[in-house]
Structure 1
Amino acid sequence: MPSAANVVILAGLVIGLIYGAVGLLSGFCMMSGLRGWWAQGDSRLVRTYALAMGIAIAATQLLAVRQVVDLGKSIYLQPTFSAPLMFFGGLLFGYGMVLSNGCGSRALVLLGRGNLRSLVVVIVLGVAAQMTLKGLIAPGRIAILQWTQMTATVTSLPALISKLGVSETFARTLVAPVVSAGLIIFAFAHAPFQRAWGQIAAGVIIGLLIAAGWFATGYLGADDFNPAPVTSLTFVAPIADTLQYMMLSTGLTLNFAIVTVIGVFTGSLVTALATQRFHWEGYTSPSHMLRSISGAVLMGAGGAMALGCSVGQGLTGLSTLALASFVAVAGIMLGTAAGLRGALRIRPLASA
């Protein structure tokens, strides 16, 4: 019988393969959704993201209510965190996402389609993240963390509501449906989206993949002797860990995060070849490349500070209803808004 660790690895690979395929076919991406909504008036992609978020929250909170998964073991619900660092990291990530024309997960998907610009983004993002977590930038990050961190008496929205005198379980069953329903209603309150069956399917599938990640690591990976970290889809630290594993695999072991990264790339590649979407793409100018690298640096460093990305915090983190995740996502949204609108707007390159 396979060990719990092997089951988690297999589950992570399958989840990654499905995400890669769906991401390629649907164009799933927070930044693309916001750009289409704000700049072009087409909100279908952002509504796909909202639907995925609503499904992820509903399914994840159901696992928590049924006590299938202990979300309190995840990094998102730890009592000690730095709200200023997470917000600032989110700002950097969001702005970098616009510079690089997509987040880390989108870069993996596009790399599978033959986009060599995404190869540069993935490598630079991983290096910047590793530098921020363990390398040259780490001392500065740790100093800011120690200076600004706080110990919260409540870590999630249900726990906050429970301060009104109700049990946290009741608060969870009250808050989760309201938040989830609000997001789903927003998604379907748009006639073109109601007819976009591909986008609807993508939102539902990706939302369920978030819950599947929690189930794999929190339930299938439950092993008193060798427990797996309780987590789901996220891409900043995992991309860094994947690059490290590829270079120094001796003495290192595969885990859920690494195999999901491998799975996303592979799922996109296989889908691109099967649907004849694969074609080589590269940079059109040195300035195009410089902008892309700059964005990848900001995403790697910012994502490491914020403990996640537009998927890692925007979907996985928010599915736990963690207060820290709301802070990080607020930073990501504002950073993205600054890159798409206003005085700091990143204008399209004429040659790109």
Structure 2
Amino acid sequence: MSVLSDILLPLVDRLGDGPSAALFGLITGVVFGVAAQRSRFCLRAATVDFARGQLSDRLTIWFLTFSTAVVWVQGAQLLGLMRASDARMMAVPGSWLGAILGGLLFGVGMVLARGCSGRLLVLAATGNLRSVVSGLIFAVVAQMSLSGMLAPLRDRIAGVWVTSGGQNLDLLSALHLPQGAGLAIGLGFAALALGLARHNRIGASRLIFGAGVGFAVALGWVLTFALSSLAFEPVQIESATFTGPSANTLMFFLTRPAVLEFDIGLVPGVVLGAFLAALATREFRFQGFEGTAPLRRAMIGAALMGFGGMLAGGCAIGAGVTGGSIFVGTAWLALFFMWIGAMATDLLLDQRHPLPA
């Protein structure tokens, strides 16, 4: 066992496996919520700015978050605090077609809804009622896609073209890259992010919080990996993602099942962290929809994200940052097509028929 496992052992012995997993999810979520609220992290904003030819502060924050997640996770792996091959999204087959179609749908949806699923969760915690509505629709459609009436369609599409060998593709291994290559790639992205930060004159505080979002992803991986070495029952090694957890959290509060897990703590943790950050900075305020057109677009977008995220195997955070940080093949593909879907939607729709903010 690692030093971290030795430290966590008394806590896990006292609480049990499930409550400990939920607690670790809560901690990860709070860190994510605070950092995302303060940094204004949002993939949708980054893609829109890039589509409009702007190397903006929002694009910078996305690159910073992504790069720091890769650096922290790959560094933790080199220190023996994490093993990517044991992560659930790496250990199970992935769907290439699901990543392509799901990524496209999610990218379209996050532009229509004016935020990805993680951003909607953060905004909802700061009093944005538009995000509350969109987030609930997203969670319901995600649950329908997981085990409801949309599940057969998702399974049929996802089963058309899957990764071989009974597991997902590890990009680093597939490219025969040496140990430490993942860390080097992360540092390269970080250098790009810092160059953009200097260009945009972003303050140190926002940069720290942007990096904090990436740190939250690494924290989830490390904590669940440590728990897996201590638990009596099998524990999924996972981190921040909001498609499956949103569906699971919704059903937990509707049906109150007996099983606690990482997901059940993660989503409330994000809400709590973002809420406290908004209160501390006096940014909490109620906001609603302005007219029916934004409401209709947000509802359609949330539904597309719910199905697309489940089909792709993760949302903009789950696939785009969490899966990307351990170089899951389908996660990188899904992220690429999220960018394509979002940029195309902005080019074809928003730039031609802009709606009021």
Task: Tell me if TM exceeds 0.5.
Answer: yes
Structure 1's 240 and 55: CA in aligned 2 closer, same or farther, altered over 3 A? same
Matches of 1:145 and 1:209, distance apart in 2: 29
Deviates more, 1:115-124 or 1:203-212: 203-212
1:276 matched to 2:282? The reply is: yes
Structure 1 length-normalised TM: 0.90
Matches within 5 A, 1:129-168: 129-152=142-165, 155-162=169-176
Match for residue 316 of structure 1 among 293, 318, 322: 322
Deviates more, 1:148-157 or 1:100-109: 148-157
Matches of 2:93 and 2:15, distance apart in 1: 36
Structure 1's 154 and 232: CA in aligned 2 closer, same or farther, altered over 3 A? closer
1:85 matched to 2:98? The reply is: yes
Structure 1's 320 and 180: CA in aligned 2 closer, same or farther, altered over 3 A? same
Native 8 Å contact 1:221 1:228 kept in 2: yes
Match for residue 217 of structure 2 among 210, 233, 251: 210
Matches within 5 A, 1:1-352: 1-39=14-52, 41-78=54-91, 80-152=93-165, 155-162=169-176, 171-173=178-180, 175-190=181-196, 191-193=198-200, 195-249=202-256, 251-341=257-347, 343-345=348-350, 347=352, 349-352=354-357
Matches of 1:104 and 1:140, distance apart in 2: 22
Native 8 Å contact 1:37 1:46 kept in 2: yes
Matches of 1:21 and 1:8, distance apart in 2: 20
1:172 partner SS:
coil
CA-CA distance at 1:89 after TM superposition: 0.2
Q: Which runs of 5+ in 2 are unaligned?
A: 1-13
Structure 1 equivalent of residue 8 of structure 2: none
Matches of 2:92 and 2:261, distance apart in 1: 25
Native 8 Å contact 2:51 2:343 kept in 1: no
Matches of 1:197 and 1:301, distance apart in 2: 37
Matches of 2:59 and 2:130, distance apart in 1: 24
1:151 partner SS:
coil
Matches of 1:158 and 1:192, distance apart in 2: 31
CA-CA distance at 1:20 after TM superposition: 1.3
Deviates more, 1:38-47 or 1:181-190: 38-47
CA-CA distance at 1:224 after TM superposition: 4.9
Native 8 Å contact 2:94 2:313 kept in 1: no
Matches of 1:202 and 1:293, distance apart in 2: 30
Identity of aligned residues (%): 29
Native 8 Å contact 1:126 1:239 kept in 2: yes
Structure 2 length-normalised TM: 0.89
CA-CA distance at 1:132 after TM superposition: 1.1
CA-CA distance at 1:86 after TM superposition: 1.3
Deviates more, 1:20-29 or 1:191-200: 191-200
Q: CA RMSD of the aligned region, Å?
A: 2.1
